[in-house]
Chain A
């Protein structure tokens, strides 16, 4: 258990999210997730569809609907437990201290309001800037995220911008208040690779320059590899493995992490190198109450895996939830 006095910027403890629907079985989307993020750190949350990675971020932001959702655990941000804050305080923190970038920039922008107004609105609300000053600041921001000709762009509507430009505009809005934590949920998934490279470069630069923390949510191990300091791998709503980036990629211990790495074709792999897919589909989950959710697809499955859920155990920097992990690599790079 991390010491609360250690002063992490974001300290999520035992977070759980349960969707309850009348006449349906409850769905436990996030189940006892804990992690910390420090200022200037980039943390990666990796998982496939249904892993609970996006729900985790929405729960941290307090963006889940109140009805039909039960959120448990604690989310400490700079000393406050975000889950118990009154809604008005939470609204102030959102946008002011924590900002979020979503996968689909089109649906996150108001289609009938010019980009400029949307950015200045945020500035006026949280920074108390007025009129011309807000305009100028908005122009600066667009410039900073690499939108050419910002004065013209400010007058344009979201549909007049390309996907990459829209995502930049969204990032500009997220940055408008110099947040201390930026949560990016698959920010480049809808974009082309060359545009993705631009956006990732931009995010890296921003973290470096502003000292903000970044939580990167993605399914793409490649994106994680070049960006994140620490990585949490999620499966079926729980963290199954987490480690420092190099350690995780060089020496994956959880069969799911190892399986993912072995199944992704690599651009630099020699041609004809075989892919080793993970059998089954991410929907073939075993409920955690009955054992390990990954057990139905796991090549390393042993008897206990289907009897009781494995606990998340820490060794040094690494956390691992597995009864029969992959063998450790012989040498771990420094």
Chain B
């Protein structure tokens, strides 16, 4: 084995960013809310359920995405969180028209994406790219990295800078130039995801939709990829929609977070506001369920346990979609009327009839849903979290 191959083993090591300079507190760019790059209105994606012996008849609809509004300011990162089956992946794909929306509009930089056909659609796709969850599945096993990275340019007939494209892309994502003539199965998971990211930025897009970009990776690799995404955003001025089930990752990377439940957005707010003061009962439950790698916090936390499972999107409950599992459910209104997304605090929208009352503590959750931490030792009453100047904010919200 040659020396260069040996050093390729350390590709991830080099790729972890400039090792000499440890990551600093990231400077947040100022983002103008007026400069909207992507705007989604009333988006619906309903998949037909077909049945029949000779001729397929539509016997029902899976309402994967059911009326979503979303604005993504240029240069920002919007996080989409929710559990499996909430429609977040379908939403991401329908924005790129990889899945056909059944209703609603997707406006990208003033262009109505939903109405484009053929060549016009292909041209717009240049400006919007996608990063996939499973880096192995998203790469053609028979394609060398060089071919992966030049294919997008070939498809769009881009001829300039042909010789420098591949080395430049590899350098941007922290892979050695020698990676170009290797095949996907020769890389580790983290390196493969870097190849996927390099492909996504090959056409110099403005918007990248990252669908679970780190969840298939080993814990110690996830941070490398998260840091790479942030670095690329700073260097290339990218706008991200990050889809993830891991709230901690989204909290880290996103400026604005939208929480989805059963095909709809139930709460949307700036990242900080959402995490310090969630309004929607589902958001509260979701956040209380995320384990935190700190025994001190874990021992003092209160958990809201949801009952049962996600209802089927083919047959969503009437009224508020969440009412079947909501620990704050109030009689009749929650069961009958689907709450609209409304702005409670500027920039903070919630789809819950009782958001203010719950927030003010006027409506208490069912006692059975609350699990107090079982304290087997004697924890200090209020413990500052390591590396944080503020105190634990997962208990009762301090209000905004």
A contacts B directly (C-beta below 8 A): yes
State in angstroms the CA–CA spacing of A225 and B386 once bound together: 14
Identify which of B13, B245, B309, B385 contacts A162 (C-beta below 8 A). B309
- B25 near A274 (CB under 8 angstroms)? yes
A273-330 interface (Cβ within 8 A of B):
273-284, 296-297
State in angstroms the CA–CA spacing of A279 and B286 once bound together: 31
State in angstroms the CA–CA spacing of A193 and B306 once bound together: 10
- A265 near B248 (CB under 8 angstroms)? yes
Flag whether A58 is at the interface (Cβ < 8 A). Answer: no
State in angstroms the CA–CA spacing of A48 and B84 once bound together: 23
- With a CB–CB cut-off of 8 A, which chain A residues contact B245? 192-193
- With a CB–CB cut-off of 8 A, which chain B residues contact A267? 247-248, 251, 275, 287, 290, 292, 394
State in angstroms the CA–CA spacing of A225 and B190 once bound together: 26
Nearest-CB residue, chain A, relative to B293: A221
Flag whether B10 is at the interface (Cβ < 8 A). Answer: yes
- A226 near B298 (CB under 8 angstroms)? yes
- A264 near B219 (CB under 8 angstroms)? yes
Flag whether A197 is at the interface (Cβ < 8 A). Answer: yes
State in angstroms the CA–CA spacing of A223 and B371 once bound together: 16
Flag whether A65 is at the interface (Cβ < 8 A). Answer: no
Q: Mark contacts of B266-293 with chain A using CB atoms, 8 A cut-off: 1 yes-contact digit, 0 otherwise.
A: 0000011001000000000111111111
Flag whether B224 is at the interface (Cβ < 8 A). Answer: yes
B327-384 interface (Cβ within 8 A of A):
371, 374, 377-378, 380, 383
- With a CB–CB cut-off of 8 A, which chain A residues contact B19? 279
- A272 near B25 (CB under 8 angstroms)? yes
State in angstroms the CA–CA spacing of A270 and B393 once bound together: 10
State in angstroms the CA–CA spacing of A281 and B288 once bound together: 31
Flag whether B303 is at the interface (Cβ < 8 A). Answer: yes
Residues of B within 8 A of A (CB): 9-10, 12-17, 19, 22-26, 28, 83-84, 188-191, 218-224, 226-227, 245-249, 251-252, 271-272, 275, 285-299, 301, 303, 305-306, 308-310, 371, 374, 377-378, 380, 383, 385-390, 392-394
**Contacts beyond the supplied A197-B289, A273-B25, A274-B25: 9 A-B pairs with Cβ under 8 Å:** A48-B218, A208-B374, A263-B224, A268-B388, A268-B393, A275-B227, A276-B22, A276-B23, A283-B188
Q: List 11 A-B contacts (CB under 8 A).
A: A194-B83, A220-B219, A226-B299, A249-B296, A268-B292, A273-B25, A274-B23, A274-B26, A278-B220, A284-B9, A284-B12
Residues of A within 8 A of B (CB): 48-49, 148, 162, 164-165, 192-198, 200-201, 204, 208, 219-226, 245-246, 249-250, 259-261, 263-284, 296-297, 333-334
